[in-house]
Chain A
């Protein structure tokens, strides 16, 4: 899934192992899942507090349950454009005041839009929580949306799109593959929007979107760091609690019909330095489709293409030497059906057909045979160790809880993560592989040097 980050160039690292930061019994000394507290204010705002007293720092993160896939038809990019406009000031705090206040106190802030959510976050010294909470609550209902400011921001967004999607052949192909993967679901649209639709967004589109979705009962507040549930509750009641509950929000997205025809795309560009082939398969997520396959798919992606010891790398790069890189990726963290990717870049002297055929043979073998005990054990270890290392930052915890809870899952899912990982069998992985590796639900994208 595409994630658009407002001010950082790059992609969101947390997507890859979004499910991370589980708690391994006996070792959870820094953050203890038992101390995580969840409650809901009278106006419907969900609140999660993750106490972590290692440092006098706190991450304040407000998640709205709306993202790029909720853009109005013909107006792709509205959710993301509104995220940009959220930094333009309210009646109380003028343009730039919020950002300047955070900076003046040594804090950092950012925001991002994914297909499913829009989130705003600040990391500040723990005694500055009240300041950022007051300002974040204020802009939930009192944003000033003006045409002049939007006209200038529209140009910024178009520059962002050029840099992110249009300036490199790989960026162009990625968009084309996603658009072909989904026949009907809005995940086919780039979160940042198509250029012609970004140009067509009006200030009224933004106002309407803001008015529809930016309410306490459509949001989740996550506070991680040096605070207690009581101190956060008192502040949340004071600032967010003063806001009225909004109308009930129904998110309805068009869903995929059965996919019955494999799709193949070729993109030629004179700027291609290194040809490659990627394949995207429509895949269940942890909350959509045959979701029992989600966790096995996470392990499958590691065994198949997660690094130097993975099957694709070992066979295509290390042993047959027909590729310079090969791998797989999957994240189960999306509301609707997601994508499982495999890719390969051929070595010099190997053509793309040969590389693709070799990739398909590796997939066929893993589809028909059990993965070995060694492979499964190693993949589980990788996943669980990454969760311990990830706990080294408060922002990481806040992102995990926000991501999981806005996906409709629960704190229990996080607490049970390690035991669920341990319980996955080789048979589970094989069944997941047989389910996902169905060419009829796939898009193959080939990047080639040449005139487009």
Chain B
């Protein structure tokens, strides 16, 4: 388990142990600490780290199933539910609930991505009782009153209209539509004005009743609280959730359809925004870590990446240029993007493509691999720099099946990656002929 240096508290132990592993320092005298694998009396599993340095408790809940499960024609439903969960519940109307949260300085948030619905609660330890009670009320008795629903609907429609004029948003939406023509990932996750208009109160209630169920919940928690009290508060907050199945679905596995196409969407702007992508590894694929290292060197590593050097530093072609792995539950992607002035975007695209070809044929050199490893292992503990982020990681570890020893082992996985592994991943994923590109703007000299 994770080591802790005496006299330091909580996540400092996580940090020190990992850095020691990465850099081979001497390990001081230690007392062991660990992620506590709690099983509450009601049977909920909670991964918990006790952290007494600040008088705060942070918890994160997750339910499987995100925007991908929005019924066709009702895109935007999951996000609308998330927006309405704190707009009136139980005995409180919208304003009453909001005021109650403020009166107790409780931060409660609901969010949804393509694969999961998440809930974050942060409270001062002294207000924990009321905070968890409000969490339970919001989860099990959301009101979805017409008044609040119409207000949020108006905001969503306004947001959709605005995004339909935003070059980056237009490009991303077009890329997903292209890559997933017959899969829910290809549909709008935020909804369009007309789909948002078609969402009814029954849709909202059905979503909450069928998707936010007792057996489907995952929990991560960090903070200044006794584990048995935490268990009690969690059980009480989740007591009134419906039983229901652990998962809603099904959604099919899918490989992105990337025919090596170029799509140009004309839009009035001085710059062209470009989104490009390829199929990539899913989170538990064998080649995830080799691809992770490869991506760091190609375009994931901020100002040290090859794309940053070639596109920005050497040629001044863009302010930002990046790539990242996007491992969804049912499909893996490698995505990237940049924006360049209309009459130079063709040159930027050519440079990016030639870097993809180069990394596919040559892989990395020893120095790049070594530097990537020291960055990725050294920065990992520093990224976990707040209770809230650690709680989120404890949740992700459970939902992605990473294992309770993940924090301890993760840097070993990175350090085990060899040049041959990266080479294999590069050949497998960096297929220039598949590269699918969307350009939004008034580009000159791009494509036919």
Q: Is the CB of B154 within 8 A of A108?
A: no
Given contacts A54-B10, A103-B301, contact A389 B165 (CB under 8 A): no
A152–B319 CB distance below 8 A: no
Contact across chains for A163 and B319 when beta carbons are under 8 A apart = yes
Nearest chain A CB to B275 CB, angstrom units? 14
Specify which chain A residues have a CB less than 8 angstroms from the CB of B387 in the assembled complex. Answer: 392
> Which residue from A155, A162, A317, A382 sits with its C-beta under 8 Å from B271?
A162
Q: Is A364 an interface residue (CB 8 A)?
A: no
Instruction: State which residues 266-320 of A face B: CB under 8 Å.
Output: 270-274, 307-309, 314, 317-318
Residues from chain A with Cβ under 8 Å of B98 in the complex? 307-309
Chain A residues with CB under 8 Å of B320's CB are 7, 9, 163
**Digit string of B117-158 for contact with A (CB within 8 Å is 1, else 0)?**
000001010000000000000000000000100110011011
Interface residues of B in 43-59 (CB under 8 A from A): 52-56
Query: Shortest Cβ distance from A370 into chain B, in angstroms?
Result: 19
Q: Does B231 contact A (CB under 8 A)?
A: no
Contact of B167 among A27, A167, A385, A393 (CB under 8 A): A167
Shortest Cβ distance from residue A52 to the other chain B in the assembled complex, whole angstroms? 9
- Whether B271 and A348, one on each chain, are in contact in the complex, defined by CB atoms closer than 8 angstroms, is no
The answer on a CB contact under 8 Å between B54 and A321 is: no
Flag if A156 contacts B164 (CB, 8 Å). no
User: CA–CA, A318 to B301, complex, Å?
Assistant: 44
* Chain-A contact segment, one of B72-80, B176-184, B257-265, B371-379: B371-379
Distance of A274 Cα from B161 Cα, bound (Å)? 7
Residues of A within 8 A of B302 (CB): 7, 99, 103
A391 vs B56: C-alpha distance when bound (angstroms) = 11
From B12, B55, B94, B102, contact of A55 by CB (8 A): B12
Which A residues touch B270, using CB under 8 A? 162, 166-167
Shortest beta-carbon distance from B233 to chain A in Å: 19
Q: Does more than half of chain A's interface fall in helix, strand or loop, or is it mixed?
A: mixed
B226 located at the interface, meaning its Cβ lies under 8 Å from any Cβ of chain A in the complex: no
Cβ-defined contact, A30 with B12, below 8 A? no
| A345/B158 contact (C-beta < 8 A), A54-B12, A159-B339, A378-B102 known | yes
A125 & B124 in contact (Cβ 8 Å cutoff): no
Q: Which one of B19, B105, B164, B319 lies within 8 Å of A56 (CB-CB)?
A: B19
B378, A152: Cβ atoms under 8 Å?
A: no
- Is B19 touching A378 in the complex (CB atoms < 8 A)? no
Is the pair B374, A105 in contact by a Cβ cutoff of 8 Å?
A: yes
Chain B CB within 8 A of A132 CB: no
Question: Is A200 in contact with chain B by the CB < 8 A criterion?
Answer: no
- Closest chain A CB from B176 CB (angstroms): 20
A390-416 vs B, Cβ < 8 Å mask (1 yes, 0 no) = 011111000000000000000000000
A115 vs chain B, min Cβ distance (A): 20
Q: How far is it, in angstroms, between the C-alpha of A157 and the C-alpha of B320 when the chains are bound?
A: 11
CA distance A116 to B271 in the complex (A): 29
A367 interface hit (Cβ, 8 Å):
no
Residues of B within 8 A of A381 (CB): 102-103, 105
Point out the residue from A124, A321, A395 that lies within 8 Å of B151, measured CB to CB.
A321
Q: Is there an interface contact between B124 and A393, defined as CB atoms closer than 8 Å?
A: no
B90 located at the interface, meaning its Cβ lies under 8 Å from any Cβ of chain A in the complex: no
Contacts of B151 in A (CB 8 A): 317-318, 321, 324
Segment with Cβ contacts to A, from B62-70, B307-315, B355-363: B307-315
Q: Contact check, A156 vs B316: say whether CB atoms are below 8 A apart.
A: yes
**Closest chain A residue to B385 by CB distance?**
A393
Bound together, the chains give a CA A153 to CA B52 distance in angstroms of 47
B35 interface residue (CB < 8 Å to A)? no
Cβ-defined partner of B154 (8 Å) among A55, A106, A307, A324: A324
**Smallest distance from the beta carbon of B108 to chain A beta carbons, Å?**
12
Q: A314-352, CB under 8 A of B: which get 1 and which 0?
A: 100110010011000000000000000000010110000
Q: Are B378 and A106 in contact (CB under 8 A)?
A: yes
For the complex, is B268 an interface residue (Cβ under 8 Å from A)? yes
User: Contacts A103-B375, A159-B319 given: A57-B382 contact, CB under 8 Å?
Assistant: yes
Asked if B15 is at the interface (CB within 8 A of a chain A CB), the reply is yes
Which of A106, A151, A309 has the most chain B CB atoms closer than 10 A to its own CB?
A106
Q: Any chain B CB within 8 A of the CB of A87?
A: yes
The smallest C-beta distance from B270 to any residue of chain A, in angstroms, reads 5
Determine whether A29 belongs to the interface, using a CB cutoff of 8 Å to chain B. yes
Cβ–Cβ < 8 Å partners of B19 in chain A: 56, 106, 125
B396-419 near A? 1/0 per residue, CB < 8 Å: 000000000000000000000000
Question: Contact between A156 and B312 (Cβ–Cβ < 8 Å)?
Answer: yes
Does B185 sit at the interface, judged by CB under 8 A? no
* Chain B window 1-25, contacts with chain A (Cβ cutoff 8 Å), 1 for yes, 0 for no: 0000000111110011001001000
Q: Determine if A154 is an interface residue (Cβ-Cβ < 8 Å).
A: yes
Alpha-carbon distance between A393 and B381 when the two chains are bound, in angstroms: 13
In chain B, what residue has the closest Cβ to A378? B102
Find B15's partner among A57, A99, A391 (CB 8 Å cutoff). Answer: A57
The 5 closest A-B pairs by CB, nearest first: A106-B378, A155-B316, A385-B105, A273-B162, A273-B161
Residue pairs across A and B with Cβ atoms less than 8 A apart, 11 shown, are A29-B53, A54-B9, A54-B10, A107-B379, A123-B382, A157-B319, A160-B319, A166-B269, A271-B267, A307-B98, A382-B105
B positions within 8 Å CB-CB of A = 8-12, 15-16, 19, 22, 52-56, 94-95, 98-99, 102-103, 105, 107, 122, 124, 147, 150-151, 154-155, 157-159, 161-167, 267-271, 273, 301-304, 309, 312-320, 339-341, 371, 374-382, 385-388
Given A55-B385, A163-B320, 6 other A-B contacts at CB below 8 A?
A271-B165, A314-B95, A318-B147, A324-B157, A388-B54, A388-B124
Q: Which residues of A contact B (CB under 8 A)?
A: 7, 9, 27, 29-30, 53-57, 87, 95-96, 99-100, 103-108, 123-125, 151-160, 162-163, 166-169, 270-274, 307-309, 314, 317-318, 321, 324-325, 345, 347-348, 378, 381-382, 385, 388-389, 391-395
